[in-house]
Amino acid sequence: MERFSAALINQLVIAFSNGNHGDFRRLATELIEHFPSLYVGWKALGVAELRSGNPTEALGNLRRAEKLNSSDAEILKYIADAQRSLGLVQDSEASYISAISMRPDFAEAHHALGTLLASSGRFSEAEEFYRRSIVFKPSFVAAYMGLGVALESLNRPREAKYYFSEATMLAPRDSRTHYNFARFLQIQDDLDGAERAYRRALEYDPSDIQTLGPVTK
């Protein structure tokens, strides 16, 4: 039985790593059917539901996982994600903070909390958590972009420009980094720089209509 459960968990991890959502959900369900007392299955099914846009179902499964293992910071982070999707902002913030308390170097939780705070207009607080996220994961592109947006909103364009630029260097083939940088440059009236950045965004994603024609001289 232990070998069987270990094999299922290994397959589950591989499916998650490969982004194979169908196999991930199927394996999570199979793990629960055979081993309902293993928290991993409930956690995985919660993540699968979250990624499928079913936060209510996700939250129920993640709570089951939490009862079986209360020391997994990732479960708390996913619970917070589900709560955020359901509009439970205060609950979500508390869950992110609990996840960070349990695992202080949890870069993804710092980033997620920063994003939650930014969405509520709390940009100074968001800045702190984005910066922590970068400290713990220096290659975290989304944290650089989030910090850029927060600093821009705090009217600190010089600092914001640095982080938007860093995002493009960390992920040079990601059209989103170039698009966000271009949008920022356009707002700052650097139309030549914005045009170059928009062109790079289109180079890496020609189907992105958003980047067509935003800069006029």
Report the pLDDT value the prediction gives residue 3, as an integer from 0 to 100.
Answer: 65
The tally of domains found in the chain comes to 1
Report the pLDDT value the prediction gives residue 34, as an integer from 0 to 100.
Answer: 86
Cα 70-28-7 angle, rounded to 5 deg: 95
**What is the CATH number for 40?**
1.25.40.10
Tokens representing 129? 């958590």
* Digit-coded pLDDT (tens) for 88-143: 999 999 999 999 999 999 999 999 999 999 999 999 999 999 999 999 999 999 99
Closest CA to 47 of 76, 5, 70: 76
Contact 134, 143 (CB under 8 A): yes
CB burial readout 84-99, b (16+ within 10 A) else e: bbeebeebbbebbebb
Nearest 10 degrees: CA dihedral of 137, 47, 52, 126?
-40
Mean predicted confidence (pLDDT) in 10-19: 82
Is residue 117 situated within a structural domain? no
Is residue 45 situated within a structural domain? yes
Is residue 143 situated within a structural domain? no
Report the pLDDT value the prediction gives residue 208, as an integer from 0 to 100.
Answer: 64
Is residue 16 situated within a structural domain? yes
Report the pLDDT value the prediction gives residue 8, as an integer from 0 to 100.
Answer: 76
Is residue 144 situated within a structural domain? no
Range of the domain at 39: 1-96
Q: How many CB atoms lie within 10 A of CB 156?
A: 15
- DSSP-derived 3-state class of residue 11: helix
Closest CA to 82 of 56, 48, 44: 56
Q: Where are the beta strands (DSSP E) in the chain?
A: none
Contact 25, 45 (CB under 8 A): yes
Whether 215 shows a pLDDT value over 80: the answer reads: no
Residue listed under structure tokens 């079913």: 54
* Digit-coded pLDDT (tens) for 192-210: 999 999 999 998 877 765 6
